[in-house]
Amino acid sequence: MSTVTHTPGGLAGPDQTPPPGRTPAQRAAVGGGRAGARFFNGFSHLFLAVWAIMVVYPLLWVVMSALKTDSEVIRKPLSLIPEQLQWGNFARAWTEGHIGSFFLNTILVLTGSVFLTMLLGSMAAYVLARYEFPGNRLIYYMFLSGLTLPIYLAAVPLFKGVYNTGVVLPFLGPNSHVMLILVYVAWSLSFTVFFMHSFFRTLPNAIAEAGMVDGASHSRLFFSVMLPMAKPGLISIGIFNVLGQWNQWYLPTLLMQSVAGEPKNQVISQGLIELSVNQGYRSDWSGLFAGVTMAMLPVLIVYIVFQRQVQSGLTAGVSK
State the Cα angle at 57 between 54 and 59, rounded to 5°: 115
Decide whether 95 or 283 has the Cβ nearer to another protein. Answer: 283
Residues near 233 by beta carbon (within 8 Å), at least 6 away in sequence = 195, 196, 199
Residues 6+ apart with CB under 8 A from 113: 180, 181, 184, 185, 188, 245
CB of 267 to another protein, least distance (A): 10
70-99 positions binding another protein, by CB under 8 A: 73-74, 77-78
List 185, 208, 234, 237, residue binding another protein (CB under 8 A): 185
Q: Is 240 in the site for another protein (CB under 8 A)?
A: no
Closest distance to another protein from the beta carbon of 286 (Å): 11
Please identify which residue in 250, 258, 262, 305 interacts with another protein, judged by CB under 8 A: 250
The answer to whether 141 contacts another protein (rule: CB under 8 A) is no
Q: Which of 35, 167, 206, 318 binds another protein (CB under 8 A)?
A: 318
Indicate which single residue of 85, 142, 169, 305 sits in contact with another protein (rule: CB under 8 A): 142
Name the residue among 256, 257, 294 with its Cα closest to residue 272: 294
d(CA 312, CA 5): 27
Write the binding mask 9 to 48 for another protein: x where contact by CB under 8 A, - elsewhere: -xx------x--xx---x--xxxx----xx-xx-xxx-xx
Member of 64, 108, 139, 216 binding another protein (CB under 8 A): 139
CB neighbours of 313 closer than 8 A, spacing ≥ 6? 235, 236, 237, 238, 239, 240
What angle (nearest 5°) sits at the alpha carbon of residue 17, between those of residues 15 and 19?
135
Residue 246 engages another protein in binding (rule: CB under 8 A): yes
Closest among 93, 78, 68, 62 to 274, alpha carbons compared: 93
Q: Is 81 exposed, middle or buried (0-12, 13-18, 19+ CB in 10 A)?
A: exposed
Residue 126 binding another protein, by CB under 8 A: yes
Q: Does 232 bind another protein (CB under 8 A)?
A: no
Compute how many residues bind another protein; rule: CB under 8 A: 107
293-317 core/surface letters (b: 16 or more CB in 10 A; e: else): bbbeeeeeeeeeeeeeebeebeebb
**Is residue 124 near another protein by the rule CB under 8 A?**
yes
Binding of another protein by 205 (CB under 8 A)? no
Among 64, 91, 107, 127, binds another protein (CB under 8 A): 127
Comparing CB distances to another protein, the nearer of 4 and 206 is: 4
Q: Which of 108, 182, 203, 235 binds another protein (CB under 8 A)?
A: 182
